[in-house]
Amino acid sequence: MLKKIPKILSPELLKVLCEMGHSDRIVIADGNFPAESMGKNAIVIRMDGHGIPEILDAILELFPLDTYVDHPVNLMQVMPGDTVETPIWDTYQDIVCKYDARKEKAIGQIERFAFYEEAKKAYAIIATGETALYANILLQKGVVTD
């Protein structure tokens, strides 16, 4: 065990976060996301017993967001005509605001099918047990300056 490392971060996930370089991306996927088929060229990490907010908070303790892009955090847009509510996005915003000086401006949205295409290019995908709909989130790594 190590001190000051969030306990939710497994050795496998810590290794992946460490391996990632500037501008690499990681998806934290909800339980409905096709992580295995989207992640054929990525490392897929299973965290089925956990929700996205607790994972996001733990990752952002260690993981700098990219300062060279407008939106280093991206959410999957709700499909037009879908009446799904997305209260989990407010939770994500609160978490991102704790770790990034740009606050909510660091968060963007990507159309659903474009999100899938971006996910296929991710370095890693974390498959969670998150039950909220449209809860998928894409993070782009920045530079460690401390």
Residue 129 has pLDDT above 80, yes or no: yes
From the candidates 24, 50, 71, 116, give the one annotated as an active-site residue: 116
Examine the residue annotation and report whether 22 is marked as an active-site residue of this protein. yes
Residue 146 has pLDDT above 80, yes or no: no
b/e map of 29-41 (b: 16 or more CB within 10 Å)?
Answer: bbbebebeebbee
Strand partners, 128: 47
- Determine how many CB atoms are found less than 10 A away from the CB of residue 145: 6
Examine the residue annotation and report whether 100 is marked as an active-site residue of this protein. no
Q: pLDDT by residue (tens digit) across 74-124?
A: 999 999 999 999 999 999 999 999 999 999 999 999 999 999 999 999 999
Examine the residue annotation and report whether 123 is marked as an active-site residue of this protein. no
Question: What range defines the domain where residue 60 resides?
Answer: 22-140
Q: pLDDT by residue (tens digit) across 37-53?
A: 999 999 999 999 999 99
Do the domain assignments include residue 15?
Answer: no
From the candidates 30, 57, 66, 100, give the one annotated as an active-site residue: 66
Contact 63, 17 (CB under 8 A): yes
Q: What is the pLDDT of residue 87?
A: 97
Do the domain assignments include residue 64?
Answer: yes
> Which CATH number do you get for residue 74?
3.40.1650.10
Considering its fold, how many domains does the chain have in total? 1
